Every structure is written in structure tokens, then in C-alpha cells.
Amino acid sequence: MRKNIRRNELCWCGSGRKYKRCHMLEDTRKKRAAARSDTGPMVKSPAQIDGMRRAGAFNGRLMDHIRGLVRAGTTTEEINRAVHEYTVTHGHTPAPLNYHGFPKSVCTSINDVVCHGIPSPDVRLAVGDIVNVDITTIVEGFHGDSSETFMIGTVSDAARHLVEVTARALKLGIEAAGPGKHLRAIAEAIEPFVNAEGCSVVHQYTGHGIGTGFHEFFTVYHHVSPECDDIILQPGMTLTIEPMINLGGYRVVTDPGDGWTVRTKDGSLSAQFEHTVAITETGAEVLTLTPSQRAAGRLVVVPGLDV
């Protein structure tokens, strides 16, 4: 593998073919896998799945705990405080804090921010905003990871449409996951639906294997791509599904100032929902359901939307 080779250059292997027609796919997959080196076994034992259940359930309770705070007038730092306090009070660890240098305990991503928004005492939620709150906790060594996009008061019809499409996209992705299914079935369920609704699927950020590591092998694409890892889902695998959906184009840019905040390139709105799931003998068990989702018998509950 050679660094910085361009797609139309000759392949490094000496085949005489263009890189894109030779080793490019394989190299891309290897690079993705290397970025997920904090990795446990791809198939977890029943005891490990139980650990993942406890982590997911805690993450879900925490989501319900902060739900009321996500309203006009609250600063994103107040949400961060609440997430941090609840987590450490229960003896657990907020996974984002210091993860590759991330400075806070939760990600709060408003409007055109796609993901990895940094909570701040200077940023106050306002009527009309949409905000994704992405919570990840470590409970007895295992990770639970889930997020929801909240609408603050009345939002534009376009924002509402985006949030609805994104919630449905997560549900479609979860329904497509199960034993014997190819990993790419998730993207195949999500992307055509999202495009038909006039929205686009972010390519740059993906779901992931999860366990004792935050981001384990493999990469869960939400867009259809030949780069998708060649994996058949098996009972005992645990992964996240977390489509980031834009109202405009799929391209994103990272804030050069803080190195974290990811925004849509065209300034359009972006939304996201995420759950951690375990593949079982019969389908996908959602590990991060919140008590309110359990009570409603739904995978996603968005006040004011029928999803």
C-alpha cells in the first residue's frame, strides 16, 4: 500500500492498471479497518452480549433523563453537564470525553452540523432549531451508543420532513439487519428511500462495530458503495446504525478551527438517529431502546411526528 496515490495513477502493485481499477478498494477497506483498531471479537459471547445489553439500557435511560432539558433556552453545555453528571453518578464513563481528544461528554449537533458538535455555554437552543444529541456510555467495559434529533418548538416544514425521513431511515436500516444478511443490506434499505424523499446520505461518517471498543471493525455504510466490507451478519455481532441525512448534498466539511465540528458543505440542514443493535438468531435486537420507546413499542419516538 502506498500513501497519497491518486485514483487515476497506475497502481502501486505494478499491474499496469489504474489504481481505481486495481488495489484502491482493498486499500480503502484496510485503511477503514485500521482506524477501528480498538477492537474486540467480531462475534460476542452470550455474556458479552449481556454486557452490551446493560450498557445499551443505561444509555437509553440517560437519553430519557435529558429529554426534558432539550428545549429552547437550554445551552448545549447544560446538556453536556446533565449527561456527564448522570453517567458518573451511576459509576459509569462518558465515552466521548477525551476520545481522540474530544473535549466534552456528549456531541450536540445543531442545524447544518452533521455530527461531533462540541457543547458550549455560548450556544443556546432556539425555537426552530433541530439538534442531535449523541450519547455514548461505557458500562462495565461495554459501550452503548445512540442519538436522536430533537425539534425545538415549531420548526420549518423542510426541517420536519428531514427529521421524519431520518427517523424512518434508521428504522429501515434496523429492519434490514439480521442473521445471514449482507452488511450492505443496511445501505440498500436506507439510501434509495432517502433519495426518493429528496434528501442525501452522508458518506464520510458511518456506523460501526461496537463492544469493548467504541469504534470496532467493521464499518457500517448507510450509502450503497463497493467499499462496503464483505461481511455476512451473524448472531453475536453488535453494531451501530446511525444514518446522517442532509436536506441538500451529501458532502461535509470539518471545522478547521476546532477540528471536530462536521457541517454540510452546502449549509443545508442535517439530521441523525442512532441505535446500537445486536444480531440474534431471528433479527436485530435494539440494545439502546429508551424506557419511553419501550413503553410506546417503537424504535424511534419523535414528539409531533408519526414515525
Q: Which stretches of the chain bind Co ion, using CB under 5 A? A: 134, 145, 147, 240, 242, 274
Backbone angles phi, psi at 170, to 5 degrees: -60, -45
List the helix and strand counts (H, then E) for the chain: 6, 15
Q: Does residue 220 interact with ligand MF3 by CB under 6 A?
A: no
Question: Which strands sit side by side in the sheet containing 284-286, from one edge to the other?
Answer: 216-220, 207-209, 238-241, 275-279, 284-286
Q: Does residue 116 interact with ligand MF3 by CB under 6 A?
A: yes
**8 A C-beta contact, residue 38 and residue 211:** no
Residue 112 DSSP symbol: T
Residue with Cβ nearer ligand MF3 (37 or 156):
37
Residue type, 275: H
Choose from Co ion, ligand MF3, none: what does 6 bind? Cβ within 5-8 Å by kind.
none
Residue with Cβ nearer ligand MF3 (53 or 143):
143
**8 A C-beta contact, residue 192 and residue 222:** no
CA pair distance 16, 25, nearest whole angstrom:
16
Q: Which of 48, 136, 261, 293 binds ligand MF3 (CB under 6 A)?
A: 136
Alpha helices in 3-75 (DSSP H): 24-34, 46-67
Which residues inside 246-285 make contact with ligand MF3, applying CB under 6 A? 274
- What is the per-residue binding string for ligand MF3 in 187-216, x denoting contact by CB under 6 A? ------------------------------
Q: Which of 24, 49, 83, 107 binds ligand MF3 (CB under 6 A)?
A: 107
106: closest CA among 92, 115, 119, 89? 119
* Chain centroid, CA 221 distance in Å: 10
Nearest-approach distance from CB 128 to ligand MF3, in angstroms: 25
**8 A C-beta contact, residue 35 and residue 215:** yes
Choose from Co ion, ligand MF3, none: what does 116 bind? Cβ within 5-8 Å by kind.
ligand MF3
CA pair distance 162, 151, nearest whole angstrom:
11
Strands (E), 95-215: 107-110, 113-115, 130-139, 142-151, 200-201, 207-209
Question: Which residue lies nearest ligand MF3, judged by its C-beta?
Answer: 96
- What is the per-residue binding string for ligand MF3 in 229-248, x denoting contact by CB under 6 A? -----------x-x------
Alpha helices in 68-156 (DSSP H): 76-89
Q: Does residue 145 interact with ligand MF3 by CB under 6 A?
A: yes
Choose from ligand MF3, Co ion, none: what does 7 bind? Cβ within 5-8 Å by kind.
none
Residue with Cβ nearer Co ion (161 or 223):
223
Residue with Cβ nearer Co ion (107 or 125):
107
Nearest-approach distance from CB 259 to ligand MF3, in angstroms: 11
Nearest-approach distance from CB 104 to ligand MF3, in angstroms: 8
3-state class of 54 per DSSP? helix
Nearest-approach distance from CB 206 to Co ion, in angstroms: 9
Residues that bind ligand MF3 (CB under 6 A): 96, 99-100, 102, 107, 116, 134, 136, 145, 240, 242, 274
